[in-house]
Amino acid sequence: MESRQVIRAKEIRRTFPPDWEVPEFRVEFWDGKTSDYCVVVPVINEGYRIRHFVHRLKDANVDAIADIIIVDGGSTDGSLEQEYLRSYSVRGLLTKSGPGKLSSQLRVAYAFSLLGGYDGIVTIDGNNKDDPQAIHDFIRLAQNGYDFIQASRFLRGGRHRNTPFLRYLAIRLLHAPLLSISSGFHWTDTTQGFRAYSRRSLQDHRIKPFRDIFKDYELLAYLSYRLPKVGFKCIETPTYRLYPKGKAPTKISSFRGNLDLVKTLFLACSGKFNP
């Protein structure tokens, strides 16, 4: 069975445009397109959090307005059992096998989704911090012509709980202000991955997100800088983000990891990732 899945992934890769650089991946299962929009959920070893989250997606009736696609970075915790995911209306599971972290996972999922003909893509983390009910607002905004929709816990109507204090300061005093100044769009919340993109924005020759330079967390900062810079229609929408008490569920925890994020921010804002 796995060999057939690997062959299918290779066949899909051959249909990508020749200038798209997309990591190797497997199609674990794919039940087909039913909507104009899809929801991409990146995960790696999220354990009970991803199981709880797909339940919340189902309770929020997300499957009625979008196809849910999970893109795995190589989990080893057994949390992505296929029948369980399918029982909560997950349409597909992709596994990145090539190098890189979040940006590589997103390049896999975005390439797969664009090839599948979706008009827009919503991305939401699989660590259960975000409220999936807001996906309805994202798709409504996308249908109204917005190319980039960013979740914000800091807008009027947004909420957050237990946000780590140093992260709060970094977003409010450094990350969002610097991206706002450099991009020309007033951002309030720029580090979270709950966002949406139009098909035309990701396929624009001035953007070119399918490049191997985007491996770790570069793609998020780059798109927040580049899309408004070249004139795509952007907006923030208020959302609720809840961190559990105690240790925050994040893959960015070390001093070096946070230093790399700051370096990435300055590279993006100075245009170093531009095509």
Structural domains in the chain, sorted by start: 2-269 (3.90.550.10)
**Residue 130 phi, psi dihedral angles, 5° rounding:** -105, 155
Q: In the chain, what are the helix, strand and coil shares in percent, each to the nearest 5? A: 40, 20, 40
Q: Give CA separation, 107 vs 9, 46, 64, 236, in Å.
A: 14, 20, 25, 23
pTM, 2 dp: 0.93
Per-residue confidence in pLDDT tens, the chain, 275 aa? 344 566 578 889 889 999 999 999 999 999 999 999 999 999 999 999 999 999 999 999 999 999 999 999 999 999 999 999 999 999 999 999 999 999 999 999 999 999 999 999 999 999 999 999 999 999 999 999 999 999 999 999 999 999 999 889 999 999 999 999 999 999 999 999 999 999 999 999 999 999 999 999 999 999 999 999 999 999 999 999 999 886 655 555 555 667 888 999 999 999 999 99
Helix/strand/coil (H/E/C) assignment for every residue in 21-42: CCCCEEEEEECCCCCCEEEEEE
Q: Give CA separation, 34 vs 29, 38, 198, in Å.
A: 15, 9, 18
In DSSP terms, which residues pair with 195 in a beta bridge? 123, 150
Whole-number Å distance between alpha carbons of 108 and 115: 11
Say how many residues make up the chain. 275
